């Protein structure tokens, strides 16, 4: 199967079980893939990129997102029409057919309709063929045959579907870096957490994206987080599960296989990430034109080489990550076309140049050139950008069979819109953000327009903390959009530090915190009742740890958003900075016996380097 050169060797293809081969058929021809392959990836591994024909003009359609987010890969199964080929896994003996063609998928006899596109505006046949009265009855079967979406099997057998109910303290939607961090933080504070992940495995973008010039960073962070999540008894993980909606007061219907979970969560953290957006140019719908993330998914998740010679069109650093991944997968990268006229200093750009790839700034792709068979892209035309919506006359043709679009993201914020979140576009950062969320709903990660990995993790932890905090204290609305460090945060931490340093008395660290932090947080007139003390103590420990650990990262994210620093400086990550031994000893000295074993875990310790740094700056 690797003979044709599309399948990549073993480290690639995280979802594949290479020990099990699965035979299926497409258009009546037999194919083989591995267990874990989707229909689209298995076909791509056999060099079959054409999957279906478009609804109206019968144009060829292939992989676009590899994430089930597009209608390009609708195929027909025996029992079911309109199946997403990039989501449905292959199984032995599966019969798959393309959709919406006359004759054969490769040579569609109705492809001539595309030539008349100028005369067929949107809704044309609903206007033209309704007159005279009764004419539609004659025309409808003819039009339906040419513009249909698969055949419904009227003899389909009924299946078994059931329901389950859940009342988690915190529901985290999205199992990427932000979601896993949020779940860990909330579970660590004693909340019962349910983690809902759409894909078959946890990890989100860490599974396929290249988030730094060093390709191993994402994978190591993924392994770390997944191991921690699996070891945490308070987290229930639902994979291959989709949270379909957000209803008032955090009522979440969630589908996993044939089961519907009806969840009523006290707090919800939405960490659904973002979707790469396609770029607009002529013939951008041809097979061979796909999102940068789709190419990365093909490589990392399914071990499929997405093309032989590629052009990457980009406007951000991630496009260069795509180019690096392509180079490593053995794809010849003909050029990286960057829309930006001036490129920032960036590790990934230098790494791409280091591979001898032609980087063309200030240019755009304005046309994809179809091959002689009109079924796959065979080249691009690239032109210099001269103004808003304008290109220079002369263009440059580059031969390629793959165009990767990595030009920007939109937040996957549907659930936040259900909760009446408002989408706003910030020109300064060129990002979408969602504002005005109701209480008890938190957003974290790239859905909240945090894109640097450290900031994403920090935001996840912050949201998890805010959710757990609101859960411990029902009167707090736990607004996760609070930006740290706030003035009161600085003040409270300063008081704690002073208290610890000045009063080197038999008091333990937690009691000092208990004495100071709640006092700052509670209104002066409020008397703390006895039963609340335990909660307050727990909360204040949590508050303290949280400030210590996430404040610098969130502050960093704010600086990044304002453009005050670029990527390379992120290499100096505060979470990975070594903990000074003095701080460890200090911590041991002050903690009571019971707390010591717990504090030996790295989750508690990184508090201290920051305190030192922060203390130096503020006190």
Partner 1 sequence: MKIMPCPLNGPRNISEFVCGGEVVIPPDPARCSAAEWADYVFMRDNVAGVVREWWYHVATAYWFIAERDTVTDEIIRTYPASELFSKRVVFTAPEEASEAGASEAGASGGKP
Q: Which of 17, 91, 249, 558 binds partner 1 (CB under 8 A)?
A: 249
Assess 247 for contact with partner 1 (CB under 8 A): yes
If DSSP codes are grouped into helix, strand and coil, which group holds residue 45? Answer: helix
Neighbours of 343 (CB within 10 A): 15
Cβ-based nearer residue to partner 1, 211 or 263? 263
Which residue, 467, 476, 539, 457, is CA-closest to 170?
A: 467
Assess 124 for contact with partner 1 (CB under 8 A): no
Nearest-Å Rg of the Cα atoms of the chain is 27
What CA–CA distances, in Å, run from 519 to 213, 256, 487, 524? 46, 45, 15, 8
Nearest distance from residue 259's CB to partner 1, in Å?
19
* Number of shown-chain residues binding partner 1 (CB under 8 A): 5
DSSP state of 103: B
Cβ-based nearer residue to partner 1, 340 or 422? 422
Which residue has 């892209």 as its token pair?
377
- Contact segment (CB under 8 A) with partner 1 among 111-119, 194-202, 242-250, 318-326 equals 242-250
Nearest distance from residue 187's CB to partner 1, in Å?
24
- Contact segment (CB under 8 A) with partner 1 among 16-24, 244-252, 300-308, 362-370 equals 244-252
DSSP state of 437: P
Cβ-based nearer residue to partner 1, 127 or 163? 163
Q: How far is 222 from 61, CA to CA, in rounded Å?
A: 33
Considering only residues 524 to 563 of the shown chain, the ones binding partner 1 according to CB under 8 A are none
Phi then psi for residue 25, to 5 deg, are -130, 150
Nearest distance from residue 174's CB to partner 1, in Å?
23
Neighbours of 315 (CB within 10 A): 17
Cβ-based nearer residue to partner 1, 299 or 416? 416
Which structure tokens are listed for 192? Answer: 């019962």
Nearest distance from residue 264's CB to partner 1, in Å?
8
Nearest distance from residue 477's CB to partner 1, in Å?
12
Residues 6+ apart with CB under 8 A from 245: 252, 253, 415, 418
C-alpha angle 267-269-273 in degrees, rounded to nearest 5: 165
Assess 167 for contact with partner 1 (CB under 8 A): no
Nearest distance from residue 165's CB to partner 1, in Å?
11
Which residue, 371, 343, 375, 378, is CA-closest to 359?
A: 343
Cβ-based nearer residue to partner 1, 418 or 584? 418
Cβ-based nearer residue to partner 1, 81 or 253? 253
Nearest distance from residue 246's CB to partner 1, in Å?
11
Cβ-based nearer residue to partner 1, 68 or 438? 438
Q: How far is 414 from 418, CA to CA, in rounded Å?
A: 6
Cβ-based nearer residue to partner 1, 259 or 264? 264
Residue 43 Cα to chain centre, angstroms: 25
Nearest distance from residue 182's CB to partner 1, in Å?
23
Residues 6+ apart with CB under 8 A from 427: none
Q: How far is 14 from 11, CA to CA, in rounded Å?
A: 7
Cβ-based nearer residue to partner 1, 247 or 565? 247
Cis peptide before 402 (omega within 30 of 0): no
Nearest distance from residue 471's CB to partner 1, in Å?
15
- Contact segment (CB under 8 A) with partner 1 among 53-61, 125-133, 248-256, 524-532 equals 248-256
Phi then psi for residue 265, to 5 deg, are -100, 145
Nearest distance from residue 423's CB to partner 1, in Å?
21
Nearest distance from residue 474's CB to partner 1, in Å?
11
Which residue, 462, 468, 465, 520, is CA-closest to 494?
A: 520
Q: For the chain, what's the residue count? A: 619
Q: How far is 66 from 350, CA to CA, in rounded Å?
A: 28
Nearest distance from residue 439's CB to partner 1, in Å?
10
Assess 475 for contact with partner 1 (CB under 8 A): no
Residues 6+ apart with CB under 8 A from 518: 528, 536, 539, 540
Assess 248 for contact with partner 1 (CB under 8 A): yes
Cβ-based nearer residue to partner 1, 253 or 361? 253
Nearest distance from residue 258's CB to partner 1, in Å?
23
- Contact segment (CB under 8 A) with partner 1 among 245-253, 349-357, 475-483, 490-498 equals 245-253
C-alpha angle 587-532-474 in degrees, rounded to nearest 5: 105
Cβ-based nearer residue to partner 1, 119 or 165? 165
Considering only residues 251 to 290 of the shown chain, the ones binding partner 1 according to CB under 8 A are 251, 264
Cβ-based nearer residue to partner 1, 167 or 425? 167
If DSSP codes are grouped into helix, strand and coil, which group holds residue 358? Answer: strand
- Contact segment (CB under 8 A) with partner 1 among 16-24, 241-249, 324-332, 570-578 equals 241-249
Nearest distance from residue 250's CB to partner 1, in Å?
9
Cβ-based nearer residue to partner 1, 126 or 417? 417
Which residue has 């591995």 as its token pair?
34
Cβ-based nearer residue to partner 1, 266 or 545? 266
Which residue, 556, 594, 560, is CA-closest to 575?
A: 556
Which structure tokens are listed for 358? Answer: 């032609």
Exposed/middle/buried for residue 260 (C-beta within 10 Å: 0-12, 13-18, 19+): middle
Rule CB under 8 A: which residues touch partner 1?
247-249, 251, 264
């Amino acid at each position: 199967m690797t003979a044709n050169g599309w399948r990549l060797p073993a480290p690639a293809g995280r979802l594949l079980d290479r020990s099990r081969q699965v035979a299926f058929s497409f258009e009546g021809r037999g194919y083989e893939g591995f267990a874990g392959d989707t229909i689209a990836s298995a076909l791509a591994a056999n060099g079959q990129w054409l999957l279906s024909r478009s609804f109206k003009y019968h144009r060829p359609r292939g992989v676009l997102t590899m994430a089930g987010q597009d209608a390009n890969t609708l195929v027909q199964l025996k029992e079911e029409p309109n199946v997403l080929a990039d989501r449905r896994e292959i199984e032995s003996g599966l019969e798959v057919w393309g959709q919406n063609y006359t004759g054969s998928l490769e040579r569609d006899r109705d492809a001539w309709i595309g030539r008349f596109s100028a005369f067929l505006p949107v809704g044309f046949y609903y206007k033209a063929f309704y007159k005279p009265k009764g004419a539609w009855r004659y025309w409808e079967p003819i039009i339906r045959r040419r513009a249909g979406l698969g055949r419904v099997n009227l003899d389909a057998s009924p299946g078994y579907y059931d329901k389950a109910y859940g009342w988690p303290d915190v529901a985290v939607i999205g199992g990427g870096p932000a979601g896993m961090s949020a779940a860990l933080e909330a579970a660590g504070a004693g909340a019962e957490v349910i983690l809902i992940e759409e894909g078959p495995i946890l990890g989100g973008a860490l599974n396929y994206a290249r988030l730094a010039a060093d390709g191993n960073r994402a994978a190591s962070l993924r392994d770390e987080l997944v191991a921690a999540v699996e070891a945490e008894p308070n987290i229930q993980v639902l994979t291959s599960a989709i949270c379909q909606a957000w209803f008032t007061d955090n009522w979440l219907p969630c589908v996993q296989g044939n089961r519907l979970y009806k969840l009523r969560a006290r707090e919800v953290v939405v960490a659904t990430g973002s979707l790469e957006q396609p770029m607009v140019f002529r013939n951008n719908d041809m097979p061979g034109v796909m999102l940068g993330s789709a190419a990365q998914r093909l490589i990392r998740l399914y071990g499929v080489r997405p093309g032989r010679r590629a052009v990457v069109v980009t406007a951000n650093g991630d496009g260069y990550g795509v180019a690096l991944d392509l180079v490593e997968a053995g794809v010849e990268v003909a050029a990286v076309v960057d829309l930006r006229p001036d490129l920032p200093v960036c590790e990934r750009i230098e790494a791409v140049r280091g591979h001898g790839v032609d980087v063309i700034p200030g240019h755009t792709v304005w046309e994809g050139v179809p091959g002689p068979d009109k079924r796959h892209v065979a080249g691009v035309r690239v032109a210099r950008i001269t103004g808003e919506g304008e290109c220079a006359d002369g263009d440059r043709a580059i031969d390629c069979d793959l165009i990767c679009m990595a030009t920007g993201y939109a937040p996957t914020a549907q659930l936040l819109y259900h909760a009446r979140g408002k989408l706003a576009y910030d020109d300064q950062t060129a990002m979408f953000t969602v504002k005005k969320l109701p209480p008890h709903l938190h957003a974290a990660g790239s859905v909240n327009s945090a894109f640097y990995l450290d900031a994403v993790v920090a935001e996840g932890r912050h949201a998890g903390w805010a959710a757990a905090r609101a859960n411990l204290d029902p009167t707090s609305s736990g607004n996760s959009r609070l930006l740290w460090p706030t003035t009161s945060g600085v003040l409270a931490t300063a008081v704690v530090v002073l208290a610890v340093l000045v009063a080197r008395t038999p008091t333990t660290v937690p009691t000092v915190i208990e004495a100071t932090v709640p006092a700052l947080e509670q209104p002066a007139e409020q008397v703390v009742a006895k039963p609340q003390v335990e909660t307050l103590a727990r909360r204040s420990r949590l508050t303290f740890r949280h400030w210590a650990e996430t404040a610098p990262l969130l502050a960093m994210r704010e600086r990044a958003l304002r453009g005050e620093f670029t990527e390379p400086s992120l290499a100096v990550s505060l979470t990975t900075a070594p903990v000074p031994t003095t701080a460890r000893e200090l911590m041991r000295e002050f903690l009571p016996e019971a707390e010591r074993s717990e504090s030996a875990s790295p989750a508690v310790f990184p508090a201290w380097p920051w305190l030192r740094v922060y203390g130096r700056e503020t006190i």
